[in-house]
Structure 1
Amino acid sequence: MTTRTLFLSPRVTATGHALADAARRRGAHVETLRDWRVPEQWRRAAGASLYAGPLFADAVARELGVGLLEAPEDWLARLPYELTLRNVEFTTIEEARLLRRPAFVKPPNDKSFPARVYPDGSGLPGPDAVEGGEPVLVSDIVTFAVEYRLFVLDGEVRTGSRYATRGDLDVAPLAEDPRRGEVLGFAERLAGTGLPSAVVVDVGLVDGSGWAVVEANAAWASGHYACDADAALDVVLRAARPEGEFGAADHRFLRPVPEVVRD
């Protein structure tokens, strides 16, 4: 069996350190890339995996030979209302600029502009900053009383963490949270909703309404908060691995990585 090598971006975070420690404990190699270019000896490395932000991942994944799983951009908008407890529209930023009401607007899988409540579409970045065809999710505004991060593998929650209470950072392992059973019960309802085999899903309790999906995130770019690092690493290694290792069921969830032109 090929030994895994976990590659990290130059900006190593607390989660990067935790995943690196977990990888070393199981005998995997860990390499920190020093810039946005993959050294020759690591190009298309056997057993490569990656933990990094989307922009850095786009720059190095092709040279590493790594495929990256992520939820479809319109996944949240396609969920039934009973799983979101709010209306969510998948559209373009050009259309969203025409909004004349407050809404929560975010890029589906990237961070091309801040995800937040906008008083109306005029507050969104203009065409000089973000092209009009950029996909966005436009959501009704709801208040989450408490929010949780779940690392999910083959539909099973491998580890979880509370990360916010009423919008403020409030981190604790899911195992120690009094709502653990409710969180896991709600997560079971997400089976068959069209997610990749390895993914991160954020869920929360909406004031006065019940449990709802916050969003889906790529495991290879998600912070682990108080999740168990070893269990989170299992999900990351499945979500970012050599392209040839992905089965047919996951091919449609592979991130379209751009061709990077080097000087």
Structure 2
Amino acid sequence: MVTKQGFLALAPQYTTTSELLSASARRRGMYVEVLGGAPTGRRGAHYYGGPAFAARVADDLEVALLEPSDDWLATLPYEYTGRHIAISTLSEARSLSRPAFVKPPREKSFPAAVYSTGDDLPPGPDAPVLISDVVTWAAEFRLYVLDGGVRTGSQYTMFGRLDAEPLEGHRHEAAVREFADDLLARCGEGLPSAVVVDVGLLTTPESGAEWAVVEANMAWFSNCYAADPDRALDVVLRSAGPRTGLSERDHRFCRNIEDAAPAG
């Protein structure tokens, strides 16, 4: 039986984040279930897991999946990116004659990486891509954002190598929060109310080190690393929750928008 505290549905693929979030949900009195291939018959769920599995079960669960728009990163002012970023297509990216960082905006349909030329891009159907200048990140942080404020976060890399450390108490915490607060105050309306934003310390020969946005992601499909799982869960639950609770503001960010009516 689903408790009044709610129901958290998990994709079948195990991750450390799904384990942390499920433990947090159970402490709240939520019912937690790892889904199989068959429909559950349960409605009004929250969800955590990958987008491919979500596409199979979202209607059955009646869950509204929030995600940032494909072009959000490309529309940010240069002062928040520290590099030139363009939204394009995979077919157009194949004509690149210079090194560039190329990634899918949301899906992990091919590896996000630096490609020497467009000829090195993997085969696949045409789809939106983000193309950006090649930069070096001294440190990268994942921030869980709810209603325009940072709930929790974690460092996840140092110079490209995995190095998880909680944001709370980190030597860069004040700088990260200051940058994020300014970013969200100016550009937060372009994001769903519950989202993950990655920021980093950008090192460039021209301007030294500066803070910049790495990307934005769906909170319901993000590794929480060393972030506080209880606070991260607050964001995940909003990012993939019952369609009956979908706000008018978030309707435009809903992946399965055709079947999701705003609550108003």
Aligned to 1:252: 252
Aligned to 1:31: 33
For residues 2 and 67 of structure 1, the distance between their equivalents in structure 2, rounded to whole angstroms, comes to 19
For residues 196 and 156 of structure 2, the distance between their equivalents in structure 1, rounded to whole angstroms, comes to 13
Residue 183 (structure 2) pairs with residue 187 (structure 1) = no
Amino acid at match of 2:192: P
Contact kept? 2:251, 2:257, Cα under 8 Å:
no
Amino acid at match of 2:114: V
For residues 258 and 90 of structure 1, the distance between their equivalents in structure 2, rounded to whole angstroms, comes to 24
Contact kept? 1:68, 1:239, Cα under 8 Å:
yes
Contact kept? 1:85, 1:209, Cα under 8 Å:
no
Structure 2 alignment gaps of length 5 or more: 260-264
Aligned to 2:239: 239
User: What SS does the aligned partner of 1:234 have?
Assistant: helix
Amino acid at match of 1:18: L
Aligned to 1:229: 229
| Percent identity of paired positions between Structure 1 and Structure 2 | 52
Amino acid at match of 1:71: P
For residues 97 and 24 of structure 2, the distance between their equivalents in structure 1, rounded to whole angstroms, comes to 48
Of 116, 121, 131, which aligns to 2:113?
116
1:209 shift after superposition: 3.6
Residue 99 (structure 2) pairs with residue 102 (structure 1) = yes
Contact kept? 1:61, 1:257, Cα under 8 Å:
no
Aligned to 2:153: 160
1:226 shift after superposition: 0.4
Q: Return the TM-score normalized by structure 2.
A: 0.91
Contact kept? 1:8, 1:50, Cα under 8 Å:
yes
Indicate how the Cα distance of structure 1 residues 223 and 61 shifts in structure 2: closer, same or farther if over 3 A, else same: same
1:167 shift after superposition: 0.5
1:3 shift after superposition: 2.8
For residues 51 and 38 of structure 1, the distance between their equivalents in structure 2, rounded to whole angstroms, comes to 16
Contact kept? 2:7, 2:31, Cα under 8 Å:
yes
Q: Return the TM-score normalized by structure 1.
A: 0.92
User: What SS does the aligned partner of 2:232 have?
Assistant: helix
Structure 1 alignment gaps of length 5 or more: none
Of 9, 12, 16, which aligns to 2:11?
9
Contact kept? 2:5, 2:28, Cα under 8 Å:
no
Following TM superposition, the consecutive aligned residue runs of length 4 or more in structure 1 with deviations greater than 4 angstroms are none
Instruction: Tell me the number of residue pairs that the alignment of Structure 1 and Structure 2 aligns.
Output: 250
| 1:89-131, Cα deviation, whole Å (9 max, x unpaired) | 00110110111110000000100111100001111122xxx21
For residues 68 and 154 of structure 2, the distance between their equivalents in structure 1, rounded to whole angstroms, comes to 20
